[in-house]
């Protein structure tokens, strides 16, 4: 088979390109090999195939068709069309038992590349054969190829078909002896059951298959390793395989000569998400050394480099600029086919994700302006303007990145189009537009004179809220990922609230049991709850039930999120108390791998709930950890906010451990830091504070026993500090009770029940340990209607201060 040999030559050429350090050339292996399409010998070969294709058997037809596609021959060319029609005819006339599954997968992969209705029309006749073949699979090879068919035809899948397939997998893959063919098969199956719609339907099967690979990762190919890593990141579990992949890729990386092998990028894209700060620093230096000096990358590097730089969150703006400059140059200089609308939208989505990962601190205006020009052309000349899923992505990108060149207001014609077609948008479309609106609002925050944009923003958010409410009413069987997307989209529209939609979303979560959750969906849910500032005990108990049952597989990153949530709200439950020992064990296990900020957040939550272990404490205040923090601060991307956040949290932790765990004998080393912060704290000037101060001054005549804006030991700010005794007469300070009055604003209280949050409760606990009696005054009570009565506020203060036992 001459065409097969040509394909093999292409593969060899591709590998040579990879190993010949062809990093910084814009001539990709595919581009170089395209010269063969005009080669006379190759054209003669094509003519021979066209003349004699009727004599080819089914194996030869399927392999030739796939090879032509891989080499780059247009799927609509005469020879490809003749081969596909001939193969289709044979498949339809051959008994299913006689058709090998590899023939079906080759045909499916090739025809799907049409990316149009023609391909689907051809495959609709092949689909019944694939379905029958599911029940006839009896080898790993069969399952692998049928998995590939199903993965490439998501439009034809339904729950009944997937249930049959899952039954087949459970019968043939689980608890079977390890084998090379089984490993390859599992990777393909995992790719299918972790595709967007089905990812949350088979969590236990997914985990079981991944755990089946334990101990066999060293036998997995690099490409499959990358696929597995992506699946584990999607699922956020299991820990065991995450760790094994990390160790294997680290070994490969240590053996790889980064100056001669582009495969290092594939390795780095696997290892970055789980890397320590020192490893990230090393990876960043490799990227800088290999690519920054050239300021351009080949097409081969664009995908892996995106994952690497995105997860690095580097503070080196040159690396980011070099990457996006290279992407832009590649798009401008390449063929028009690389600027097809679906490819542009994929790159736009990457840029938005990149910007989001950098907390909106990074922008590359040249890229944004050029992309908007291309997207405008697509709207004028293409079909994206009439396809809701395409237009939503274009609109989201268009409004997200204003500039002097583009302007700060959105064209009204685009706003009107969204409003007119909002009824056609699905959950994901609504989420995409909402994300764009949120980014647009943030990027225009400093532009105060934009009444037209604000009007557009309100109209769009209102319409999206209405549409999401319609979706909830019309679709009773949303899966948890869809509901999480609805919730997150609602949070993106936080400036235009719709209580009916909010409570409807929360109500819908009650339809799920703990079995419907996964680590990833719980991580998304906790993020949404914190963003909307909401505590739901029943919902969180379901999450905890899942975590307790599956604690062996959890990653510390997910455990930290739920610990922090319970601490922020200052609540616990029976399930949470049951989960705490597991949480402590997991945080201790992964303490060396966690980022400094996440580890400190988890430690503070454990400290609050009296669950901080000695081993965590020892590492937390070790020279090793403090040096790691310094490294993180030196290399962080958000230098304006991240260092302040980290240093403040370290002080709070130091204080909490000193007060709550005196037996640990940890020194207080933040005296100077607290003094510096205290010198910068302005005096209260709010009406609430001034009104309380006025009433207290009326009540306490001897000003020597009243302090305002003072500080306790360990740096707690005290609004008012009093000294009194039981006889109500103010006497010598060393014989009297210390009392503090602290003011509670709305932000210090939980929305759900108007009770104090965790930080306020921690402050009260610490002050009481330090010998103070703590009195809280809520702003809502102070400004309530009954307080308007004469002397009401004075009487209220008296009852608090001289409370009868």
**Domain positions in the chain:** 531-677, 681-801
Mean pLDDT in residue range 454-467: 95
- The dihedral region occupied by 684, where left means phi > 0, alpha psi between -120 and 50, and beta the remainder, is beta
- The pLDDT assigned to 541 comes to 96
Query: How would you class 694 by CB atoms within 10 Å of its CB: exposed for 0-12, middle for 13-18, buried for 19 or more?
Result: exposed
Task: Tell me the pLDDT band of 6, cut-offs 50, 70 and 90.
Answer: low
Q: Do 153 and 197 contact (CB within 8 A), yes or no?
A: no
384 vs 413: CA distance, rounded Å: 15
CA-to-CA distance for 601 and 695, rounded, in angstroms? 39
- If one compares 267 and 382, the residue with the highest pLDDT of the two is 382
pTM given for the model: 0.87
- The pLDDT of 310-318, averaged and rounded, is 84
> What whole-number distance in Å separates Cα of residue 18 and Cα of residue 28?
10
**Domain spanning 681-801 has what CATH number?**
3.40.960
Residue 20 in this model has a pLDDT that exceeds 90:
no
> Helices 78-93 and 101-112, interaxial angle, to 10°?
140
Confidence of residue 19 (pLDDT cuts 50, 70, 90): very low
For 109-157, write each residue's pLDDT tens digit.
Answer: 988 887 777 778 888 889 999 999 998 888 999 999 999 999 999 989 9
pLDDT at 300 over 70: no
CA 42 – CA 67 distance, rounded (Å): 13
User: Mean pLDDT across the chain, nearest whole number?
Assistant: 86
Q: Could you give the angle at the alpha carbon of 795 between the alpha carbons of 794 and 797, nearest 5°?
A: 65
| Arithmetic mean of pLDDT, 178-200 | 86
Dist CA 566 CA 547 (whole Å): 14
Mean pLDDT score, 223-250: 83
Residue 236 · residue 523 · CB < 8 Å: yes
Q: Contact at 8 Å (CB) between 492 and 528?
A: no
């Amino acid at each position: 088979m001459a065409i097969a040999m040509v394909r093999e030559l292409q593969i060899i050429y591709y590998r040579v390109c990879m190993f010949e350090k062809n990093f910084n050339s814009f001539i990709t292996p595919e581009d170089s090999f395209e010269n063969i399409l005009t080669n006379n010998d190759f054209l003669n070969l094509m003519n021979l195939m066209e003349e004699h294709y009727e004599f080819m058997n089914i194996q030869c037809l399927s392999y030739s068709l796939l090879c032509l596609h891989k080499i780059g021959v247009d799927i609509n060319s005469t020879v490809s069309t003749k081969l596909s029609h001939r193969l289709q005819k044979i498949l339809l006339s051959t008994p299913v038992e006689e058709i090998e599954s590899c023939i079906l997968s080759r045909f499916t992969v090739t025809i799907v590349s049409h990316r149009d209705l023609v391909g689907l029309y051809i495959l609709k006749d092949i689909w019944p054969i694939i379905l029958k073949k599911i029940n006839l699979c009896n080898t790993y090879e069969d399952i692998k190829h049928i998995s590939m068919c199903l993965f490439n035809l998501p439009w034809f899948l339904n729950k009944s078909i997937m249930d049959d397939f899952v039954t087949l997998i459970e019968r043939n893959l689980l608890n079977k002896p390890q084998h090379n063919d089984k490993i390859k098969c599992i990777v393909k199956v995992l790719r299918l059951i972790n595709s967007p719609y089905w990812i949350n339907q088979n969590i236990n099967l997914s985990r079981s298959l991944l755990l089946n690979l334990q101990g066999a990762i060293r036998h997995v190919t690099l490409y499959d390793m990358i696929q597995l890593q992506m699946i584990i990141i999607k699922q956020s579990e299991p820990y065991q395989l995450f760790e094994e992949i990390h160790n294997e890729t680290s070994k490969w990386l240590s053996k790889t000569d980064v100056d001669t092998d582009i495969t290092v990028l594939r390795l780095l894209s696997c290892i970055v998400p789980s890397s320590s700060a020192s490893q990230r620093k090393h990876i960043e230096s490799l990227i800088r050394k290999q690519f920054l000096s050239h300021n351009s990358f080949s097409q081969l590097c664009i995908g892996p480099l995106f994952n690497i730089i995105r997860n690095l969150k580097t503070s080196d703006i040159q690396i980011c600029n070099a990457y996006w400059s290279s992407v832009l140059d590649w798009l401008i200089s390449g063929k028009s086919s690389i600027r097809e609308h679906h490819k542009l939208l994929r790159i736009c989505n990457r840029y938005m994700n990149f910007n989001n990962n950098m907390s909106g601190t990074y922008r590359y205006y040249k890229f944004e302006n050029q992309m908007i020009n291309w997207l405008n052309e697509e709207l004028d000349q293409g079909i994206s303007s009439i396809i809701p899923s395409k237009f939503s992505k274009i609109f989201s990108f268009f409004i997200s990145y204003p500039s002097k060149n583009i302007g700060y207001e959105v064209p009204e014609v685009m706003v009107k189009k969204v409003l007119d077609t909002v009824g056609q948008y699905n959950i994901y479309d609504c989420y995409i537009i909402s994300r764009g609106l949120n980014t647009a609002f943030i990027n225009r925050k400093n532009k105060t004179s934009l009444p037209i944009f604000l009007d557009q923003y309100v109209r769009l958010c209102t319409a999206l809220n209405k549409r999401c409410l319609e979706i909830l009413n019309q679709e009773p069987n949303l899966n948890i990922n869809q509901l999480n997307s609805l919730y997150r989209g609602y949070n993106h529209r936080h400036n235009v609230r719709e209580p009916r939609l909010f409570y409807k979303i929360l109500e819908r979560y009650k339809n799920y049991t703990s079995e419907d959750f996964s680590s990833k969906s719980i991580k998304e849910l906790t993020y949404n709850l914190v963003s909307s500032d909401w505590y739901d005990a029943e919902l969180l108990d379901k999450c905890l039930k899942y975590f307790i049952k599956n604690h062996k597989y959890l990653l510390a990153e997910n455990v930290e999120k739920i610990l922090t949530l319970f601490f922020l709200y200052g609540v616990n439950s029976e399930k949470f108390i049951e989960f705490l020992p597991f949480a402590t064990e997991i945080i201790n296990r992964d303490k060396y791998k966690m980022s400094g900020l996440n580890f400190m957040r988890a430690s503070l939550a454990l400290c609050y709930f009296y669950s901080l272990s000695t081993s965590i404490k020892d590492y937390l205040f070790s020279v090793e950890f403090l040096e790691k923090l310094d490294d993180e601060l030196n290399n962080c991307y958000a230098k304006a906010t991240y260092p302040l956040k980290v240093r403040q949290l370290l002080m709070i932790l130091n204080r909490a451990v000193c007060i709550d765990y005196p037996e640990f004998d940890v020194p207080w080393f933040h005296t100077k830091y607290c003094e510096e912060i205290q010198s910068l704290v302005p005096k209260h000037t709010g009406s609430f504070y001034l009104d309380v101060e006025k009433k207290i001054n009326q009540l306490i005549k001897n000003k020597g026993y009243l302090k305002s804006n003072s500080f306790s030991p360990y740096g707690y700010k005290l609004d008012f500090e009093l000294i009194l005794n039981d006889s109500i007469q103010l006497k010598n300070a060393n014989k009297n009770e210390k009392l503090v009055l602290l003011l509670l604003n709305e932000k210090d209280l939980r929305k759900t029940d108007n009770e104090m949050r965790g930080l306020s409760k921690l402050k009260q606990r610490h002050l009481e340990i330090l010998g103070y009696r703590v009195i809280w005054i809520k702003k809502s009570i102070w400004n309530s209607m009954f307080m308007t009565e004469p002397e009401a506020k004075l009487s209220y203060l008296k009852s608090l201060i001289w409370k009868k036992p």
